[in-house]
Amino acid sequence: MTKSLPTDETIAAIATAVAAGEGGIAIVRISGAAALSACKSIVSVPGSKSWHSHSILYGHVMNEEGTKRIDEVLVMVMKGPRSFTGEDIVEIHCHGGMISVQRVLERVLSHPQIRRAIPGEFSQRAVINGRLNLTQAESISELIHARSNQAAQLAMAGLDGGIQKRIAKLRDILLDQLSELEARVDFEDELPTLDGSQVLKTLTDVQSELKQLINDAFTASLLQQGLKVALIGAPNVGKSSLLNRLSRRERAIVTDLPGTTRDVLESEIVIEGVPITLLDTAGIRATANPIEKLGIAKSQEVLMCADIVLVVFDLSKGWTKQDEALFQQIPKNTSKLLIANKVDIASDPKLTSQISSKNANETYIAFSALTGEGVQDVIDGLLTLCGAHDIQGIEIALNERQRDLAARAASALDRTNTVATQKLPWDFWTIDLREAIQCLGEITGNELTEILLDRIFSRFCIGK
């Protein structure tokens, strides 16, 4: 694998989240040959302490003149190769917030041998220096951005090497088959006859396993990316009340006045391990109020980007022409769930019984914003609609880059089926087989170029 960055340079960056007034401690990470000497020049440590590897020292970061203390710090020393990047690493643990850590970083960067790290550069060096394989490094990013416990667990499975082992095993099988085919291309007369049907079965088995990994990845993406769920309906049908019930807190103001919600309200929740962003929209109706018109326009924009739409209507009034008009505005490929509110006062629950056959081709869930009746049914319907129950058996999950490469490999193996059907010579088989092997190698890091490596790690956080 080609080194894409000059690892003889020493880099530094803030390795922790930075927010005003949040967190008691922040970390500035320095990696490279000059890490230790540079740190010694800016940190004053009392007494005659030894800066040996895997030790922690107490001291102060000093200004350039050495006359003023910038911050009180702990310094952690980790000499290569026993460090995250495989190089000498020094971490300065200073006070949190925004000002202190920025001042410490600026002092570190004032050293002539240190430059600011680019996004993902620490993890990239860890891969280049053999401390991590590529899928492990990507799993670190997945772990950092995990939005639920299950997403974090899948990321840990990748960090433990689960993805690497699975893909490497499939790649080895394909390499074995390629070597057999290439031997027949050059020395077919001197070797035993190769059973093409058996080769094809082996390739089909690998393809099936890749397809399963791809399907699992699509399902597991719910855990990493979450769902955008929009609540729409006519004014005053109970959208905000439903949002509050699902959020289990008063996120939206609820009144008897139609058109109270003028903007899109968001609420982040996690239901059975699935991160969900609830989007409470303004009631869509004809209005002359310019502010309400803006809210309705935003509601219509939300419909275009939502993964699932909860259509809330008043059960006591039944499915009206206005409800039908709203329903028709939802993109056809978007999943929908009908929520019939006010079941506690509906005199005739059968009033909307013809919805499934006449209009929406959907059954509705009876719900009461007042009493909470039917809330669990709404949750169950939502989880069923997004396929969340299928997540439980997934042990590893490919990210988007890995999934796309697995799909290309599976497609290449599918073409070998056509080659076999046409009974073409062995060298035709090897063309698509090599492509599949290359795709899997890009997942594991065996087939990486400098440009591709830079592109992967540019999506990481700075300091990671």
Q: What is the DSSP string of 218-242?
A: HHHHHHHH-EEEEEE-STTSSHHHH
% the chain with pLDDT above 70: 81
pLDDT in tens, 408-446: 999 999 998 888 887 777 778 889 999 999 999 999 988
CB atoms within 10 A of CB 406: 24
Is the pLDDT score of 394 beyond 60?
yes
Inter-residue contact 129 to 85 (CB < 8 Å): yes
Inter-residue contact 78 to 51 (CB < 8 Å): no
Instruction: Domains for the chain: give ranges and CATH numbers.
Output: 10-132 (3.30.1360.120), 156-222+399-444 (1.20.120.430), 226-391 (3.40.50.300)
Least confident range of 17-21, 228-232, 321-325: 17-21
Report residue 461 as tokens: 């956080």
Report residue 449 as tokens: 């170029």
Report residue 55 as tokens: 């030790």
Task: Find the mean pLDDT for residues 271-279.
Answer: 84
Interatomic CA distance for residues 239 and 253, integer angstroms: 11
Is the pLDDT score of 256 beyond 50?
no
Inter-residue contact 92 to 108 (CB < 8 Å): yes
Is the pLDDT score of 302 beyond 60?
yes
H/E stretch holding 91 reads strand 89-95
pLDDT in tens, 334-377: 888 899 898 888 655 554 444 543 444 567 888 888 888 888 99
* Tokens 């993406």 belong to residue: 221
- Residue 361: left (phi > 0), alpha (psi -120 to 50), or beta? left
Task: Find the mean pLDDT for residues 100-118.
Answer: 94
Task: Name the nearest CA neighbour of 292 among 301, 300, 283.
Answer: 283
What is the predicted pLDDT for the residue at 294? Answer: 57
Task: Annotate 412-443 with b (16+ C-beta within 10 A) or e (fewer).
Answer: bbebbeebbeeeeebebbbebbbbbbbbbbbb
Inter-residue contact 247 to 453 (CB < 8 Å): no
What is the predicted pLDDT for the residue at 107? Answer: 95
Q: What is the DSSP letter of 66?
A: S
What is the predicted pLDDT for the residue at 299? Answer: 62
pLDDT in tens, 184-222: 666 655 556 677 788 889 999 999 999 999 998 888 887
Task: Name the nearest CA neighbour of 248 among 223, 229, 269.
Answer: 269
Instruction: For residue 275, give Cα distances in angstroms to 1, 20, 187, 223, 393.
Output: 37, 26, 57, 6, 18
Is the pLDDT score of 157 beyond 80?
yes
Q: CB within 8 A of 267, min separation 6: which ones?
A: 243, 246, 247, 251, 252, 277, 278, 280
Residues 357, 362, 367, CA angle at the centre, nearest 5°? 120
Report residue 426 as tokens: 């062995």
Confidence of residue 160 (pLDDT cuts 50, 70, 90): very high
Interatomic CA distance for residues 327 and 352, integer angstroms: 15
Confidence of residue 27 (pLDDT cuts 50, 70, 90): very high
Inter-residue contact 264 to 287 (CB < 8 Å): no
Tell me the average pLDDT of the chain. Answer: 82
Task: Find the mean pLDDT for residues 300-317.
Answer: 82
